[in-house]
Structure 1
Amino acid sequence: MKFHKYFIVMLLAAFVSGCGDTSENANDLFSIQIKENKKVYTPAETISVSLQNIKNRDISSVTYLLDDDVIASVEGTAPVSVSLSEKKLGQRNLKARIESNGSTYSVTKIFTMVASEKPKLYTYKILERYPHDRDAYTQGLEFENDTLYESTGQYKSSSLRKTNYTTGEVLEQVPLPETYFGEGLTILNDKIYQLTWQENTGFIYNLATLEKKGTFVYGASKEGWGLCNDGTNIYKSDGTEKIWTLSPETLGEEGYIEIYTNTSKIPRVNELEWVEGKIYANIYQQSAIAIVNPTNGAVEGVINLSNLKDEVTQHDKLDVLNGIAYKGEPNILYVTGKNWDQLFKIEIIEK
């Protein structure tokens, strides 16, 4: 019996030895080096990446991955050139998978990518003013032909509305249950999609009847803020620097971009609108709209809407700019805010 136990122990030891000892901390053995060693990088750059072999281990191969996509494979510690062109902005994970003495090790280096160029600056000109319900805590705004649909917030008073934008008349209204706080909306394939804030629930309505047809839940995007669509995909903001792409079939999250200028991220992205291939995004508590590249998250322009809030009736419940609608007119937007008594048709003018 003793011999039998000894034989099993020796067999297990030989098996572990043959598979390689991966109990060592990979970060004590290897590290990723970027030759440029900067705080931030841009899509216009190509970086030189290599592996530091801290304890001079035998290395058979190194595979580099950027956000889990393989970008290069080399023998030993030879440097590789990595183009950052067409890569998404934000926090990127560069990983090295090392084969050494029959074992596989993995080390990671995190770096930040920002936009290559400064955003263009825009101002505005008021073209027309329309009445708007002062009690509407505007969260989402979108045209379907000449009809303006609006989502309003606040517990016990959230709603979905179909309105005549020229008169401010609410043609139809669907109240949300009192426990839901309404947020952004968008219209796609004869359906209206409406978010709620912290309830992890979105509502789906029939466009023609406003009848509620279903619900959907969020995944990693914990909150609901803004929605828009490009005719195929739906985009969702969650109050951070992220904009998520949702499947139009399942409403599941398929990935995200992070919103960055050439210097820093833009947090608290709110109401969204799709305008001629770009995402226009309200920045919460800022009198500004960011023009975002939906492919990589670069802020290509900023529309300064300072003083627009001063154009509406001032009162105790008056809140921030929020609500962007586009009707297909070049350089024209329709904007309002939370508890504003006017909807503005404005022309966007580059400074």
Structure 2
Amino acid sequence: MAIESSKKKKKLKRSSFVQNTSSSMANSTTVCSFYERNRRLTLITVSLIVSVLVILYISSNTINKMKFEEVISSQISSIEVVNEFPHDPNAFTQGLLYGGNDTFFESTGLLGHSSVRKVVLHTGKVEVLQKMDDSYFGEGLTLLGERLFQVTWLKKIGFIYDRYNLSKFEEFTHEMQDGWGLATDGEVLFGSDGSSTLYKLSPQTFKVIEKATVKYKDLEVHNLNELEYINGEVWANVWSSDCIARISPKDGIVLGWILLPTLRNQLLRAGNVDIDVLNGIAWDSEKNRLFVTGKLWPKLYEIKLHPVRETIHGSIEQHCLRRRAFGFAEP
């Protein structure tokens, strides 16, 4: 009886041990499963958070990049004045180009006052002057080799001058509708006639080699005036505006705009009420200097360009393509 009782107790202990062990293992399994589920949920949550942050970062960068590319693609520039130089306030500037050694060649207009001149940058002094016949209205001017080429307003007549003494030694006729602006890339002449057409002319025959209609967003850009060739682009004053259009000579597409209303506004505030429009672009390719002036302006400016990143008050159409009235009817 004692033996059987002892066996029963051992059996009960063993049974109890097995039950307790099973219960502990079950509890342990439950705890492990709980922690495993938490670990997985934590990993999933962290992954989701990281994914959201990455998406937000990429989206933010994409938006900023799009905004930046929009500015760059529009290529709208404002200006910073680097230097101011004296300029003849009686010069109705029609053509301007850098002649080297801090000198300029300039063509001036108005009947009875037209001329071609060589001017010193720092003083504004006219070193050499060739007065034109009173029947001619001087317009665009450019230098190719040792010769200066000039066109005239309302006539298809142009003149060639010696760059050193400005003696006139040849007259030519061209195929543009009128004579407004001239520039060169060193091989051909680029010309404007106040329309939206950019011409390529042969410097030997003055016949039209090619022409392109200048456009901005499918809008024709009229009143193309004084021209300058800069780093593979033709830059043009747009008459009656304070804007310069940067044009692709290949197809006439406007690559960008330079906004310069501050210059004329400053001159007007200073009491220069008789000034006319912005006109005259000159490029010093050796020192990468850009110069601008205007008709009857007492100053010539060296400027630098800065991309416009803030909102422009009014569109380019309003700033640069809307014709405004000034005191003179001539371009």
Cα distance, 1:243 vs. partner?
A: 1.0
The one-letter amino acid of 1:305's match is L
Deviations 1:289-313 (A, max 9, x none): 0000000001010001112112335
1:286 corresponds to 2:241: yes
Partner of 1:195: 151
- What does residue 252 of structure 1 align with? 207
| Residue 172 of structure 1, aligned match among 107, 128, 151 | 128
Is the partner of 1:251 in helix, strand or coil? coil
Equivalent AA in structure 1 for residue 130 of structure 2 = V
In structure 2, which of residues 147, 163, 174 is the aligned counterpart of residue 207 of structure 1? Answer: 163
Cα offset for 1:349?
1.1
Q: How does 1:1-351 map to 2 (within 5 A)?
A: 119-146=74-101, 147-219=103-175, 221-312=176-267, 313-328=270-285, 332-351=289-308
2-structure distance, mates of 1:143, 1:307: 23
Offset at residue 208 of structure 1 (A): 1.6
Task: For 1:284, give the aligned amino acid.
Answer: W
Write out the 4+ residue segments of structure 1 that deviate beyond 6 Å after TM superposition: none
Q: CA deviation at 1:263?
A: 3.2
Q: Which amino acid aligns with 1:209?
A: N
* Counterpart code for 1:255: E
Larger helix proportion of the pair: 2
Computing the radius of gyration from Cα coordinates, the structure with the larger value is 2
RMSD over equivalenced CA pairs, Å: 1.5
Amino-acid identity (%): 36
Contact 1:323 1:335 in 2 (8 A): yes
Distance across 1 between alignment mates of 2:224 and 2:73: 19
Contact kept, 8 Å, 2:128 with 2:165, in 1: the verdict is: no
Q: Is the 8 A contact 1:331 1:348 kept in 2?
A: no
Q: Secondary structure at the match of 1:214?
A: strand
Q: Distance in 1 between matches of 2:242 and 2:288?
A: 18
In the alignment, is the contact (CA less than 8 A) between 1:140 and 1:271 conserved in 2? Answer: yes
Q: Could you tell me how far 1:331 is from its partner in structure 2?
A: 6.4
TM (norm. structure 2) is 0.68
One-letter amino acid of the counterpart of residue 279, structure 1: V
Give how far 1:255 is off: 1.9
1:79-128 Cα deviation digits (max 9, x unpaired):
xxxxxxxxxxxxxxxxxxxxxxxxxxxxxxxxxxxxxx963211100000
Secondary structure at 2:234 match in 1? strand
Where structure 1 has 5 or more consecutive residues not aligned to the other structure, the ranges are 1-116
* Larger strand percent: 1
Maintained 8 Å contact 2:238/2:245: yes
User: In the TM superposition, what whole-angstrom CA distance separates every residue of 1:248-307 from its partner, at most 9, and x where no partner exists?
Assistant: 111222121111012311000000000011001000011010000000001010001112
TM-score scaled by length of structure 1: 0.65
Alignment check: 8 A CA contact 1:191 1:205 kept: yes
